[in-house]
Structure 1
Amino acid sequence: MASEKLDPVTGRMTTGHEWNGIEELDTPVPRVVLYFLAAGMLFAGIYWILMPAWPLGWTYTKGLLGADQREVVARQVDSATAARAQWTDKIMTASFSEIEADDALMAKVRETGQALFRDNCAACHGINATGGPGFPDLTAKAWLWGGNPETIAETVRVGINSTNEDTRVSQMLAFGRDEILDREKINEVVSYVESLSAPERGDAETIRAGREVFAANCVACHGEDGKGKADVGAPDLTDSHWIYGRDRQSIYTTIYAGRQGHMPFWGGRLSPLDIKVLTAYVHTLGGEAP
């Protein structure tokens, strides 16, 4: 049977419970805790009366103040939209050249365009738009389909080799895998292609042989001078910007196995305004637009 007694140290009575020689004091709850508990209950009661609080099936108690956070958010959104319309309307009605000539509009384009780019494009092209293996550097101005803003906007809208019915379509043939060229001829054309951007590479005889292979198989897309054709998305082979690498092995792999890059279409996800802002942003990356 529990036995209560006075604790000589604290002067409080014990509860009579003991565990391994440790006795439990009958200590009351501090008054400050009771005060805070009472204040919390009072606040909750007042809040339930004044503010929306209790669910009632398909509705809820409105509260005496009639506060509605949905209405507050809707007003904030409407206010932000009205403020944004001051420059978005100009973006939609102005030409790309007019936009790029307007410093105030371009400040908005760089701010909003950067956010759009990082949310939608950076996964492939990199946060600084400098690309990587298999993805073009957008700051280099080496456009596969043409570098004017209207063309860029169309590429963003329909994609490349995407599921959009109007998508841009481009494919590099697999000359080796499909047995169009043998290994010797592939090596010859690799030497010639290398010489287009790095004349010091390769020997003259192999380059001459490669030029003949190139003329017979590659000029339809890349042109006789190797500078590419924007109407089919064929890259310029004479510059220093290579999507899949410019070393000999990378060029050989491209010719042997072919390439078919993919860019999703954004017309179904981004609004016409977003596409125009994103286009203006991308067009001016890396300095002045051409």
Structure 2
Amino acid sequence: MKNLFSVTALTFLLLSNAALAQSDKDCSAIVKSPQDAADRADWVIDADVVDVVRMHSDPALHVSIENATVQYELERSPRFFSAMLTADACLSPGAIPMQGKAAASRFVGKRMRFYGTKLAAGGGRRFFFVQAVEPAMPAIAAVRKEYTDKQQMPIAAPFDAQGWTRARSADGGFSVDMPGPFSDMTQGSAGRAGFMLRGTDRHGTLFMAVFERSGPGSGMGATFDEAYSKPNAKVTKFKGADAVITLGTLPESNGAKITHGLWFRVPGGTYMLSVIADKEQDAQSLASRQRFFHSLAFE
């Protein structure tokens, strides 16, 4: 199990930034209530809203706050009393609709509660849910749920005419189409929780869908933040989330294994979708890659 997430060590060679098609159910639907937000937040802050701005170079909403009180932090950071918070791409319409400056500006001068994600590279905070400070804040578990290492393989489910089946992560809360039998793996050791669905097609091409929960030990979160912040990063939107598309080779394969990756962060953690094909099979794997990527669903 210690090599479950070794794919994060791949060298990045960035691909084209052609936008990927959106799903009807995007990442803004992951958080539906204050309790959902509390279960997935890296931090919760109460603060007075001073202003709401949208910069010319950045379509995201930026909220200027002051008199901030940190209600919860998964990982401690320096205290502050005023700051600029940025709306996450996965901002939930939830309790307070923040989309558009006209809607957001209604909350200037009010005290609001923000739930968000802490970026690993370069610091910063992005909020994905906001509500009034009343009613009372939902409960946050004193100890996050722990998981034990386990692996179920192979799992053969009903296949369609093309030999594909629906794979579901028992612990990870997501599902994806797989071109054959698959393994369902959970990693609870090493200070972080992660979940993987892994399968191969009849050509030996490897398909992996990995979700790693956010937190101080999240290597995938740091990898995504670093890749996304690079000047030459090929970024796109995937199911509403900010995403990075990558292309590379397995270091030990001497160029014989081509890797295609799609990395993106949602409230509560980071996803990595990867397809690794023999060089001679890479072109033929395009249709399978597209089906695999677009089939991901949050459950």
More helix by share: 1
TM-score by length of 2: 0.23
More strand by share: 2
Larger Rg: 1
